[in-house]
Structure 1
Amino acid sequence: MAIPIAFTASLPPAERAAYGRDARKRASRSCHGWFEAEQERPDPVEVIERQSRSRLTELVPIRYGRMLESPFRFYRGAASIMAADLGPVPNSGLTVQLCGDAHLLNFRLLASPERHLVFDINDFDETLAGPFEWDVKRLAASFAIAARANGFSVKKQNRVVRACVRAYRHRMRQFAGMGTLDIWYAQDDVDRMRELLASSMDKRTRRRTADASERARTRTHLQAFEKLTRVTAEGRRITPDPPLITPLRDLLADTSEADEEKELRTVVDGYARTLSSERRHLLRHYRLVDMARKVVGVGSVGTRCWILLMLGRDDGDPLLLQAKEAQESVLAAHTGGDHYDNQGRRVVAGQRLIQTTSDIFLGWTNVVGFDGRGRDFYVRQLRDWKGIARPETMDPELLRLFGQLCGACLARAHARSGDPVAIAAYLGGSDRFDRALTGFAQAYADQNERDFEALGTAVRSGRVRAETL
C-alpha cells in the first residue's frame, strides 16, 4: 500500500527520497519495460461493449466507427482496456492525481483566466489517484503509436518515446529541489515552452511553434459561436446537425415551451451552485436561450454531452458552455474506487489539482434525464484559445520535441499532487526508466494493434455495429 500523499510530503526530504528508492522493491524500474497480455485477459471488445451499455444506444456505433479509423484513434477510445491491463501489474505505490487518459492529444494550448496562452492537460474524464507511472505509460505508448502511424523507423519511434520519458524524469528531478509554492505556481506558458525547447528548436520549428500559438488565439468562443449558431425567427439558436448536434427542442418534440424552459433552468441553477460567489455573479449576467446534444471526441462518444448557448448584453455577447456526462473513472475498479458523491465533482476536483489555471466556469451538477434517472455532469467553456496538436503532420524531430513538452507537462501535473522528491528518487539519475518505458511503449503498441483488429473483426462478423460520420 502507498503512504498517503499528505504523509510523505510532511517527512524530511531525505526520508521522502529514501521512501522513493525503497519503492523499487515493490516495482523495479526495469519491470516497467515489458507488457505481455495475461492468459485470462478480458476480451477487449467486451471491455468496450461493457462501457457502452451506459451510453446512448443510437450513438455507440459512431464511437466504434471512429475507433476503427486507425490504431491511434482506437487507442484514444480504449482507456478502459489499458486500465484493465495496468491494474494487475506491479506498481510503484507512489500516488499522484492521475489524468487517467494521458495520451498525446490530451495535451494542448489553452487560455488561462488571465488570457495568457499556456500548455497543459485538457481531459480529466478518467482522473483519479493512482500510481504515477500509469499516466507515463499511457503517454509513452501514445507516442509510439503515433510515430508508427507516420511510418517512422523503429529507431526513430524509440527516440521520440525516450525524449518524452526523459523530459518527465528530468523535470521531476527539478521539482524535487523546489519549494512547495514554487511547484504550485509553475506553469508552461509560451515563454516556458520556448525555454524548454530552446536548445533543440531550429528556425523552422520555431516558426511552426509561433504559428500554432497564433492559431490557438483565433480559436475563441466567438469563433465557435459563429460556427455553431444561426439567427432564427426566435433569435440566435444552435444550428442542428443531427446526429452530431441535436437541439433539445428536437429531442423533446412533444414538450411545451414552458417545460423546455424549466428543463434548461434546472441544469443551469444546479451547476451555478458549485461556482464561487463572484463567478455565480458573473453567470447571472447571461440568460440561457438554447441547448443541444453534441457528439464529442472518440472515447466519449455515447456519453451525454450538451452545448448551452447563453447570451449577455445582446446577441453579440455569447457564452458557450459544455455540460459533459461524468461516469465512474475507468481506473476506479483497479485502485479501490473513489469517494465522490458526484462524478462531475471528481472530474472538477482532479482538474483543479492537476492544471495550473482552470476555466473560470468549471463546475458540476446532477441532472434528472428524460428517463427519470439522475446523471452527473461537469461544465466548462466550449473552446477558449485551444490549440490542438496534429501529430500526423509532424516529422520525427518535431514529434520528439512535442514529446518533450508533454513529458515535462505531465511531470508538473504530478508534482502538484504527489511527492516529487519520492518520485524523483525512484526514477533516479540514469536512463533506466526511460529505456524501460520505451520497451513497454513498443510492446503495448503491438497489443493495441491486435485489439484494433479484434474490433474490426467484431464489426465484420456483425457482433457490433459501426457507423462512419
Structure 2
Amino acid sequence: MGNLVQSSADRPVIDMTRWQPYSSVRERGQAGIRLRQDVPLQTHAYWHLAPNRRDVIGLLEEQSASRVPDLVPLRYWRMSQSAFTFFRGTALIMANDLAKTPVTGIPVQCVGDAHIGNFGIFYSPTMHLVFDINDFDETTTGPWEWDIKRLAASVEICGRANKLHADQCHHAVKACVRAYREFMDEFANMDYLDMWYDHLDVENTLDYFESESDGRRNRTLRAAVMKAKSKDSERATGKLTTEIDGRLRFKSMPPELVPISELRGYEDLESLRDRIHQLFAAYRDSLYEDRRHVLEQYHYHDTARKVVGVGSVGTRAWVSVLTGRDIDDPLMLQMKEATESVLERFVGRNQYPSHGERVVQGQKIIQTTADILLGWTKFTPRDGHTRDYYVRQLWNGKGSIDIDHLTEQSLTDLARMCAWCLAHAHARTGDSVAIANYLGGSDSFDVAMMSFADSYADQNDEDYAVFRELIADGTLPCSKD
C-alpha cells in the first residue's frame, strides 16, 4: 500500500484550520500574493505517473465493502465502460493523490467531486433554468486547489474519451482554468451580497457563447436545455410508476429500479415500510416550517430502490412517489445514503452531526438555488449501524449534458460554465480576494493546470488499465445485471 497517504480523522494530512482571515481587502490581497513565494504557481503543474497501482484500486474495494453487495458488480460494470466513467467513480483515489500535492491552505467549502459530469441544468425555486453544481455527496471544508484540479483533469479525460485531438483537449482545459481565474477575480471585486445572489442563466450564457463563435449553435448544450424543460415529477411518475386500484406503484425494472415489495434480503417487508416512514418523519423535521407546509399537502403511495450515478452505485438510494391535489399531481422524492466524504480522511471530520446534514448544508452554501425540499434524515436498521440520508426532488427540471458526444466547442463551453460555478462556490465560501490575488493576472496558473491535467489523465489511463485487468482475471466482479 505504498502509494496510499496514511492519515486519520484526528490527524489529517492537510490542516484547514491554519488560515488566518484578514480584515481589509488590501491585507487579503497581499496575503494571496505572498503565498506565491511559498507555493509558486508552477508547482501545481507536476504529477508523476505511477504505474501498476494495484494498491489504489484497493480504495475502490474498501468503498464497496460498505455498499449493497448485489450492486457492486454493476458499479464496476458502469465504471469499466471508458476511462472517463472510471474517473467518475474514483473520487477517493484522486483525493488520495491530491493529498500529496501543494496547497495554499486557503479553505473553501469543497465540492469534493467537481468533475465535468457533476454540473447540470435544473429549475430554481422561481422556475428559471440555471446551470450549477448538482452533486454534493463529497462536500466538506478543504483546499480550493483540489476542486479545480479535479475539474481540469475531468475536462482532459472527457475530451480524450470523445476522441478529440490533444490540442483540442488542452485548449478546453486552459479555457476552463482561465475562466475560473477570471471569474474569481470578478467575484473578488463585487459587493458580497451581489456576488452571493449572482447566478448563471443557461440560455443567456449560451447566447453569449454562440455570439463569440459567429453564431454557431451549441447543439449539445441546447439539447440539454430542451430536455430539462420537460423533466419534472409528472414525467418521472409516468416513466417509473403505474396506477393500480387508484394508487401509484413503481414498475419493476431490476436492477435499476426495484419496488420494495420485490426486494430480496428483507424478511419483514412491513418493517421495511415502517423504516421508510421513519425516514420521512425525521426528514420532515429537517425542513423549514414553510417547506413542511408544502410537504404536508402530499400523500404517500410507494417506494422503490433506485440505482443512481456511476460512483454512487451500491450506496442505498430510494425513491418515493406522493400525490397532492389528486393522482395527477405527483411529487417524486429521492432519499440517498450519505457516507463519509472522500476528503475527510485527508482534511479531518466535518462539523455536522450527520453526513446527510453535511451534504445538505454544503449544498445550500455552495449552490445558488437549492431545491426547496432539500433535507436530511437517518435511521438505525437491525444491524445497529446508523445510516444517514439526504432527500431531494428526483427530477426538478434536471437536464444532464450528453458528455459522450462533445465537440471541441461544446466541451470548451461546458468547461467554462463549470468553471464559473466552481469559482462562484469558492467565492461564496472562501477568501476570494486572497485566491484571486494568488492566481494573478497572467496565464501561469492556466498553463500549470493544463500540464497537470494532461499528466493526471495519463495516470487515469494507467489506473483504468489495471482496473480492467482485475476485472478480466476475476479479481473484481463485474456485471450489468
TM-score (norm 1): 0.95
Q: Who is 1:350 aligned against?
A: 362
Task: Mark the CA change 1:69 to 1:126 in structure 2 (over 3 Å): closer, same or farther.
Answer: same
- Counterpart of 2:86 (choices 71, 74, 83) is 74
2: CA distance between counterparts of 1:39 and 1:15? 44
Amino acid at match of 2:460: N
2:72 counterpart of 1:60:
yes
Q: What residue is the counterpart of 1:129 in the other structure?
A: 141
Work out which of the residue numbers 90, 102, 110 in structure 1 matches 2:122: 110
What are the ranges of 5 or more consecutive residues in structure 2 without an aligned counterpart?
1-14
Quote how far apart the aligned CAs of 1:2 are: 5.2
| Residue equivalent to 1:246 | 258
Q: Is the 8 A contact 1:279 1:360 kept in 2?
A: yes
Cross-structure match for 1:255 = 268
Confirm whether residue 94 of structure 1 aligns to residue 106 of structure 2.
Answer: yes
Cα separation, 2, equivalents of 1:4 and 1:111:
38
Residues 1:271 and 2:271 are matched in the alignment: no
Contact 2:336 2:391 in 1 (8 A): yes
Check the 8 A contact 1:265/1:288 in 2, yes or no.
Answer: no
CA distance in 1, matches of 2:47, 2:131: 30
Q: Name 1:185's counterpart in structure 2.
A: 197
For residues 130 and 292 of structure 2, the distance between their equivalents in structure 1, rounded to whole angstroms, comes to 25
* Selected match of 1:385 from 387, 392, 397: 397
Q: Cα distance 1:12–1:42, how it changes in 2: closer, same or farther (>3 A)?
A: farther
The residue matched to 1:205 in structure 2 has which SS? coil
Matches within 5 A, 1:10-409: 11-37=23-49, 43-190=55-202, 192-194=204-206, 197=209, 199-205=211-217, 209-233=221-245, 235-251=247-263, 254-255=267-268, 257=270, 259-409=271-421
Q: Secondary structure at the match of 2:404?
A: helix
- Relative to structure 2, which stretch is displaced further, 365-374 or 63-72? 365-374
Deviations 1:82-102 (A, max 9, x none): 000001222111111111001
Give 1:191 shift. 5.2
2:466 alignment counterpart: 454
In 2, are the aligned partners of 1:4 and 1:95 still within 8 Å (CA)?
no
1:17-66, Cα deviation, whole Å (9 max, x unpaired): 11111222332110110212569977121010011111111111110111
Would you identify which runs of 4 or more consecutive aligned residues in structure 1 move more than 6 Å?
Answer: 38-42
1:424 to 2:436 alignment: yes
TM-score, normalised to structure 2's length? 0.92
Between stretches 11-20 and 310-319, larger displacement belongs to: 310-319
Match of 2:446 in 1: 434
**Could you say if the C-alpha distance between residues 298 and 250 of structure 1 is closer, same or farther in structure 2, counting changes exceeding 3 Å?**
same
Residue 37 of structure 1 contacts residue 85 of structure 1 at CA under 8 Å; is this kept in 2? no
Which amino acid in the other structure matches residue 27 of structure 2?
Answer: E
Q: Read off the aligned partner of 1:353 and give its amino acid letter.
A: I
Q: Which ranges in structure 1 are unaligned for 5 or more consecutive residues?
A: none
Cα pair 1:23 1:94 within 8 Å, conserved: no
Cα deviation, 1:344-378, whole Å, max 9, x if unaligned, reads: 00000110010011001100011223534320000
**SS where residue 392 of structure 1 aligns?**
coil
Over the matched positions of the two proteins, sequence identity in percent amounts to 43
**Contact 2:301–2:322 (Cα < 8 Å) also in 1:** yes
Rounded to whole Å, the distance in 1 between the matches of 2:272 and 2:332 is: 19
Confirm whether residue 414 of structure 1 aligns to residue 419 of structure 2: no
Amino acid corresponding to residue 329 of structure 1 in structure 2: S
> What do residues 73-118 of structure 1 show as CA deviations (whole Å, max 9, x unaligned)?
0000000000000012221111111110011011111110110000
Partner AA of 2:443 in structure 1 = D
Amino acid at match of 1:143: V
Q: Could you tell me whether the CA contact under 8 Å between 1:295 and 1:302 is conserved in 2?
A: yes
Q: Any idea what the Cα deviations from partners look like across 1:399-441, whole Å, max 9, x if unmatched?
A: 1111111111211111110111000001000000000000000
Aligned length: 466
Amino acid of the residue matched to residue 331 of structure 2? L
Tell me the equivalent position of 2:3.
none
In structure 2, C-alpha distance between the alignment counterparts of 1:47 and 1:414, rounded to whole Å = 28
Q: In the alignment, residue 421 of structure 2 is paired with which amino acid?
A: C
Q: Please state how far the C-alpha of 1:131 moved relative to its aligned partner.
A: 1.0
| 1:285/1:151 CA distance change after superposition, 3 Å | same
Letter in 2 for 1:406: C
CA distance in 1, matches of 2:254, 2:218: 40
Partners of 1:112 and 1:304 in 2: how far apart? 27
Whole-angstrom distance in 2 between the partners of 1:25 and 1:360: 44
* CA–CA distance in structure 1, aligned partners of residues 277 and 246 of structure 2: 18
Contact in 2 for aligned 1:45/1:458 (Cα 8 Å) = no
Structure 1, 71-80 or 290-299: larger mean CA deviation: 290-299
Letter in 2 for 1:243: P
Distance 2:102 2:54 in 1: 18
1:201: how far off? 3.5
Give the secondary structure class of the aligned counterpart of 1:316.
coil
2:94 corresponds to which letter in structure 1?
M
Contact 2:52 2:463 in 1 (8 A): no
Partner Cα separation in structure 1 for residue 76 and residue 226 of structure 2: 34
Question: By how many angstroms is 1:221 displaced?
Answer: 1.5
| 1:262 Cα offset (Å) | 2.5
Change (3 A) 1:234 1:166: same
Q: Which has the higher mean CA deviation after the structures are superposed, 434-443 or 147-156? A: 147-156
Once the two structures are TM-superposed, the CA of residue 264 in structure 1 deviates from its matched residue by 2.7
- Please provide the CA RMSD for this pair: 2.0
* CA distance in structure 2 between the partners assigned to 1:191 and 1:241 by the alignment: 35
Deviation at 1:285, TM superposition (A): 1.0
* SS of residue in 2 equivalent to 1:58: helix
In structure 2, what is the Cα distance between the partners aligned to 1:195 and 1:25? Answer: 41
